[in-house]
Structure 1
Amino acid sequence: MRIIAFYSPKGGVGKTAAAVNTAYLASRDNLRTLLWDLDPQGASSFYLAGAEPVKGRKLSKLLEGKSPIARFIHEDVYPNLDFIPAHSSFRNFDIKLEQEHGGSALKDLLAPLSEDTSLVILDCPPTLSRLTEQVLDVADMVYVPVVPTWLSLNSWDQLKQFVKDKKLGVKKLRPFFSMVDRRKNLHRDVLARDAEKLGLPALAAVPYASAVERMGEEGQPLEVLAPGSLAAGEFRKLWSGIKTDLWSR
């Protein structure tokens, strides 16, 4: 079982859209995939079910060991794609993890899935917390959306330093550009010098597009909603890079 995470210290940068589309593409490649929405805002539910989002459950019984993780899973939202939706109680998830399990809590919770699941995708909240540290520790790779602006580039540099300071493995971090607007000079300039600005090449450059915004309205991944769009093509490029990271090295 491989575990990846989509994380950014900044909100509103296309993290959840990337997580949902990657999960769908993985399941379409016949990988038994689980998407776990750890963000209490629960945006993944809207991208998968639109006006009738999948409802999550409180995690207290799971953390107390009174209920197995399987009971929190909505199976086959799409073929081969399982889903654990967020719940408002997730806002205290990091505190409860420490209280109930300690430093290896997330790893312990995911362990029972290893026999039946090929890929776990964690959609993380935009915070620097103990939960963030546990995600960075347990994940094989962490994919970080970066808007091609100076503020977002600065956040990327801060994240790398945080991971380095915590000794969580900087090499796990893989950036991709998100919400790209090629009409803007700054965006074009940053994209042209991605390796210089990021320290390594970006895996993809997902555009700021109405098709991505429609995912929440229609409740469908982009590969279903608008497979011919430029954004869908960039998500396929991102997934190709992820497969190389996980299985071709």
Structure 2
Amino acid sequence: MKIVACYSNKGGVGKTATSANLAHALAGAGHRTLLCDLDPQGASGFYFRVKPSRRLDDESFFRDQKRFTDAIRGSDYEGLDILPANMSFRDFDVFLSRMKNARSRLKKALKAAGGAYDMVVLDCPPNISMLSENVFRASDAVIVPVIPTTLSERTFEQLLEFFRDKKLDPKKVMAFFSMAQSSKSLHNETMARMRETHRRRFLDVTVPFAADVEKMGTHRAPVATFAQARPAAKAYDKLWREILARL
């Protein structure tokens, strides 16, 4: 089982769209996949028309394997299951701070409950916290969408600094440009500069700014299900292939 986290310490960069499309693409390629939503907003579950289990709270997530597995829901797509979030997940950090071996609790929970899957995709909340440190330690890859702007560049640098400070493996970080607009000179200049500075961290794929991605909320479905031939769907298809090639 491989664990892939979709993470950014900046909100609004396409993290949940990446999680949903990546999980759908992996399942479509024959990999038994679990999409685990760790963000209490529950947007991943919304995209797949899956309601959260109110019985799964922060404590049972880490300590009760049966409740964890009972909360997993099937999706409309073969090979893809969803563990939807609920608002109690907002207390993950508080709960983890009280636990022994807190930095490894997420990995233990996922390994115990996710043995039936080839791939686990984590949709993570946008902050740097004890939960995110758990995510970084548990994951085989940390996929980071980066909008090519100054603030996104700054938060990406902060993430790499956090990895250095905590002695985490920087090879796990696989960034890509998200919501990019080739018509904007700032985007083009930022992408060129960041690829030069962090050439080993960035994937080749670029996901464009596209109305099709925004329409996921209307269709409540991944892009490939309603706009398969469009640039965004093709970019997400390339994304999962690059990730697996690196893994």
Specify the alignment match of 2:24 in structure 1: 24
Instruction: Give the superposition deviation at 1:148.
Output: 0.5
**Contact 1:176–1:203 (Cα < 8 Å) also in 2:** yes
Q: Secondary structure at the match of 2:203?
A: coil
Offset, 1:183: 1.6
Cα offset, 1:27, TM superposition: 0.2
Distance (Å, rounded) in 1 between the aligned partners of 2:63 and 2:133: 21
* Correspondence for 1:155: 155
Give the match's secondary structure for 1:151: helix
Q: Aligned to 2:52, which of 55, 64, 68?
A: 55
> What is the distance in 2 between the residues matched to 1:190 and 1:62?
40
Distance in 2 separating the partners of 1:96 and 1:170: 27
Unaligned runs of at least 5 residues, structure 1: none
> How far, CA to CA, are the matches of 1:149 and 1:66 in structure 2?
42
Confirm or deny: 8 A CA contact 2:65 2:109 kept in the other structure.
no
Amino acid at match of 1:218: H
TM-score, length of structure 1 as denominator length? 0.92
Amino acid corresponding to residue 54 of structure 1 in structure 2: K
Cα displacement string for residues 34-87 of structure 1 (whole angstroms, at most 9, x for unaligned residues):
0001011111122222xxx52243323343437442111002441100100110
1:188-227 aligned within 5 A: 188-200=188-200, 201-227=202-228
In the TM superposition, residue 188 of structure 1 has moved relative to its aligned partner by 1.8
Query: Distance in 1 between the 2:32 and 2:203 partners?
Result: 26
Per the alignment, residue 93 of structure 1 pairs with 92
- Judging changes above 3 Å, is the alpha-carbon distance between structure 1 residues 77 and 97 closer, same or farther for their aligned structure 2 residues? farther
**Structure 1 residue 115 displacement after superposition:** 3.2
Distance 1:103 1:189, change over 3 A: closer
Measured against aligned partners, the alpha-carbon deviations of 1:208-231 in whole angstroms (never above 9, x if no partner) come to: 111000001111101102111111
Is 195-204 or 113-122 further displaced after alignment?
A: 195-204
Tell me, yes or no, if structure 1 residue 70 matches structure 2 residue 69: yes
> What CA distance in whole angstroms lies between the structure 1 residues aligned with 2:193 and 2:104?
38
Where 1:103 maps in the other structure, the secondary structure is helix
Q: What does residue 122 of structure 2 align with? A: 122
Structure 1, 111-120 or 126-135: larger mean CA deviation: 111-120
How far 1:91 sits from its partner (Å)? 0.7
The count of corresponding residues between Structure 1 and Structure 2 is 243
Q: Does 1:232 align with 2:237?
A: no
Task: Look up the equivalent residue of 2:52 and give its one-letter code.
Answer: K
Paired residue type of 2:170: V
> 1-side partners of 2:62 and 2:134: how far apart?
15
Match of 2:87, as an amino acid?
Answer: S
User: What's the CA shift for 1:197?
Assistant: 4.1
Question: Scaled by the length of structure 2, what TM-score is found?
Answer: 0.92
Contact 1:175/1:203 (CA < 8 Å) preserved in 2? no
Equivalents in 2 of 1:17, 1:127: separation in Å? 17
Equivalent-residue separation in structure 1 for 2:156 and 2:28 (angstroms):
30
Residue 179 of structure 2 aligns to a residue whose secondary structure is strand
Residue range with higher mean Cα deviation, 114-123 or 125-134: 114-123
Residues 98 and 105 in structure 1, CA contact (< 8 A), matched pair in contact too: no
Give the corresponding residue for 1:37. Answer: 37
| Rounded Cα–Cα distance in structure 1 between residues aligned with 2:113 and 2:80 | 13
Relative distance call for 1:76 and 1:198 in structure 2 (3 A) is same
Q: Describe the shift of the 1:69–1:197 C-alpha distance in structure 2 as closer, same or farther (beyond 3 A).
A: same
- In 2, distance between residues paired with 1:115 and 1:42? 23
CA distance in 1, matches of 2:181, 2:65: 48
CA RMSD of aligned residues (A): 1.7
Q: In 2, distance between residues paired with 1:132 and 1:10? A: 13
Structure-2 separation of matches of 1:61 and 1:151: 37
Give the SS at the match of 2:204.
coil
